[in-house]
Amino acid sequence: MSSRERILIIDDDEKLCRLVKEYLGAMGYEVEGAHSGTEGLKRALKGTFDAVILDVMLPEMDGFELLKQLRAESHVPVLMLTSRGDETDRIVGLEIGADDYLPKTFSTRELLARLRAVIRRSRMTIKGVETKNSALTFGQLTLDEGTYEAFLEGNRLDLTPIEYRILLRLAKVGGKVLTREQILDAVADRNYDVFDRSIDMHVSSPRGKLGDDPRNPRFIRTVRGAGYRFLEPQCEKE
């Protein structure tokens, strides 16, 4: 029983929680439910879960605030539910650390596929860390694959998991140009329509945190009509 993957669903719809628990339980998962934001955050931080399914609209504390506080202490994969189908909600969720989103009109098969995908990505990250030196240095920038943290001149950058993965992917290809599609492939197992439309925003955000001027960049250069490339230290004055 201890080897079963543990899932926490945080949603005030008790009927939905019960249905998800029954379905995922039949698929071999161990599922727990919480029905308010404060209860959900407490259980997410206290328990050892393989993934969290998180609703946006919650009593006491909404899903966005819960996710912000959770991300301050945990990198557990989060699949966010949105009932309104609002693109803004999905973008905000991804920006503050959700690993994927799913409309509440989801089918059980889609839920299972998305859940497996976020857990798989998380385990691939952990496996990669265990087999290599977790700290990568690029001039004054250090990326720690073990903690998902980035440091510039010794100061920690406040990056979301998606921002970190984008920066890491760009940095690890040795100055080669990555198209927007290649960046999407690096951070997702599927084609996010909303994420695709906001990919430039997701690149510009870590740029700002790096203090990069797009007109005279130190780290990330826009290649017009192609994509983006990371400027290695020796390339900074090109």
- Whether the pLDDT of residue 5 is over 80: the answer is yes
Q: Going by CATH, does the domain composed of 132-235 fall within 1.10.10.10?
A: yes
DSSP helix/strand/coil, 1: coil
**pLDDT at residue 238 is higher than 60:** no
Work out the angle at residue 65's Cα, subtended by the Cα atoms of residues 112 and 32, and round it to the nearest 5 degrees.
Answer: 40
Lowest mean pLDDT among 23-27, 110-114, 213-217: 213-217
Contact by Cβ (8 Å): 191, 199: no
Domain assignments of the chain as residue spans, ordered by start: 6-129, 132-235
d(CA 26, CA 17): 14
Beta bridge partners of 220: 230
pLDDT value for 95: 77
Whether the pLDDT of residue 79 is over 90: the answer is: yes
Residue 84 has pLDDT above 70, yes or no: no
Q: Residue 212: pLDDT above 70?
A: yes
Write the pLDDT tens digit of every residue in 166-182.
Answer: 888 898 887 899 988 88
Residue 100 backbone class (left: φ over 0; alpha: ψ -120 to 50; beta: rest): beta
Which CATH code fits 6-129? 3.40.50.2300
Residue 1, pLDDT above cutoff 60: no
pLDDT at 123 over 50: yes
Q: Are 93 and 82 in contact (CB under 8 A)?
A: yes
36 contacts: CB under 8 Å, gap ≥ 6: 12, 58, 59, 60, 61
Instruction: Tell me: pLDDT of 59 over 50.
Output: yes
pLDDT exceeds 60 at position 98: yes
Judge residue 150's burial from the number of C-beta atoms within 10 Å of its C-beta, 0-12 exposed, 13-18 middle, 19 or more buried: buried
DSSP secondary structure string for all residues of 183-212: HHHHH-SS--HHHHHTHHHHHHHHHHHHT-
The model's confidence at residue 235, banded by pLDDT at 50, 70 and 90, is very low
What digits encode the pLDDT tens for the residues 10-44?
999 999 999 999 999 999 999 999 999 999 999 99
How does residue 135 score in pLDDT terms, banded at 50, 70 and 90? Answer: confident
Q: Do 132-235 and 6-129 have the same topology in CATH?
A: no
Please tell me which of 28-42, 68-82, 179-193, 205-219 the model is most confident about, judged by mean pLDDT: 28-42
The pLDDT score that the predictor gives to residue 194 is 44
pLDDT at residue 62 greater than cutoff 90: yes
- Give per-residue pLDDT as tens, 138-159: 888 999 887 778 899 888 898 8
Reported pTM:
0.61
